[in-house]
Structure 1
Amino acid sequence: MRALTAYPTDRPLPLRGEGEPKLAASALGIEAEQVAAFDALLHELHPGAERVDGATISRLAAWLTSLPPAEARAALDERLSRIEELRAMVDDPDWDCAEADCANVRRLLRYLDQTDDLIPDTIPLLGKLDDVLLLELAWPAVSDEAEEYRDFVQYRETAHPGGDGAQRRAAWIADRMAELSMLRQQMRANDGLHLNDGRRETRFRVV
């Protein structure tokens, strides 16, 4: 039922690189104190996250601006769509998100809703870089809930379960558990066939 992922997309941001970045964070008008505040928020959301400094921002900015425009936009949009999924999750009356589980999501969204954050959203292309970076590095803190919600939405759209939110969630859990049980039975059956094949080979071996 849950497909855990370390990152919000299949293509992680290139956080590491060799040498000094060609584009300095100061060129974007970013002060060291702002980067430190961003890093502090990140580690409040996810204490085990990698540290972010000016070189990290510079490296990512240089990487993003080096891409063809369509590819750069796609790299951002792929992550921004995950942000919209998080927003839909906390607003979805069908999803029973406990306050403790959604607290990090709401804190993350509060930062993302600011227009004058680490990199102002008004800067073309780069304005959303800090948003997707925060999502990327804080993802382990919200991924359990986010991936389960994505699976639930897919189920709701294809199976069209009836009833209220609680009943739809119960139907989703029941069907996913049934699928898991069937998969386990198939695995046991396949293991049994392999074992039986081995016994038949031993029994009818010609010496």
Structure 2
Amino acid sequence: MLMRTAAPAETPLPWEDRPSHANRDSIGGFQLDATAVARFDRLLHDIHPEARHVDADRIATLGRWLQDLPAARARAVLDERLTRIEQLRAMLDDADWDRREGACRRVRKLLAYLDQDHDLIPDEIPLLGLLDDVILLELAWPAVATEAEDYADFCDYRASTAPDGDGAQRRDAWIRDRLDALALYQHHHRVNDGHYANGGHPNRPFRVA
């Protein structure tokens, strides 16, 4: 029901930057394992088959970019995405939400990876320990965006209007109100694009005697 975002954060990770091939599989003193990187890439494409492929060079380049940021900015890059992860957890636990099985299966696979302590980059490594988590979230996001953003909108609606009834009735009220709002928007758009009178210049100026 909403405009979908291409990434879970306002500013995407800088994937388009050309990778540096120096130290292509290491970030600081941490060496990426080729087998673990391949397993990570397979999981990503199991969740979102159309995602870009990742390799050790790309992950290491992003890791060095993150380390070069001021500490507060680097933390903000991570936290902005980690907030989305908590939103996905809440969605799976919310009895009011009619969870679509396909989307929730993908979310569960995503969360199962995030809940591991020793994954591609061990969580105990300061700052970098969360990098693989946010990379997975960022690249898999298009596969879960519809469900996640509809759920976020439903939560805002539920908090602001407090609709009556059980979960199904609250969802129905949300859908009705959003469809009504969409219909009103489309009506205004048609009116604004219509022409009720000829907007050209008259042949003779209109004068008041």
Same fold by TM (over 0.5)? yes
**TM-score range for the pair, normalised by the shorter chain length:** over 0.9
Tell me the residue number matched to 2:8: 8
Spell out structure 1 runs of 4+ moving beyond 2 A. Answer: 16-19, 21-27, 204-207
1:111, 1:19 → 2: CA distance? 26
| 1:119-198 to 2 correspondences below 5 Å | 119-192=121-194, 195-197=195-197
- Within 5 Å, give how 1:10-159 maps onto structure 2: 10-18=10-18, 20-21=20-21, 24-26=24-26, 27-159=29-161
Q: TM-score, normalised by structure 1?
A: 0.93
Q: Which has the higher helix share?
A: 1
**Displacement of 1:2 after TM fit?**
1.7
Return the TM-score normalized by structure 2.
0.92
Residue 206 (structure 1) aligns with:
204
Amino acid across the alignment from 2:73: E
* Secondary structure of 2:200 counterpart: helix
> In the comparison of the two structures, how many residue pairs are matched?
203
Structure 1: stretches of 5+ with no match in the other structure = none
Deviation for aligned residue 1:23? 5.3
Pair 168,65 (structure 1): closer, same or farther in 2 beyond 3 Å: same
Which one is further off, 71-80 or 93-102? Answer: 93-102
RMSD between aligned residues: 1.6
Amino acid corresponding to residue 205 of structure 1 in structure 2: N
- 94-103 or 59-68, which deviates more: 94-103
Q: 1:21 to 1:59 in 2, by over 3 A?
A: farther
**Segment of structure 1 superposing worse, 162-171 or 24-33:** 24-33
User: 1:11 & 1:57 partners in 2: Cα distance?
Assistant: 18
Deviation at 1:135?
A: 0.4
For 2:203, the aligned partner's letter is: R
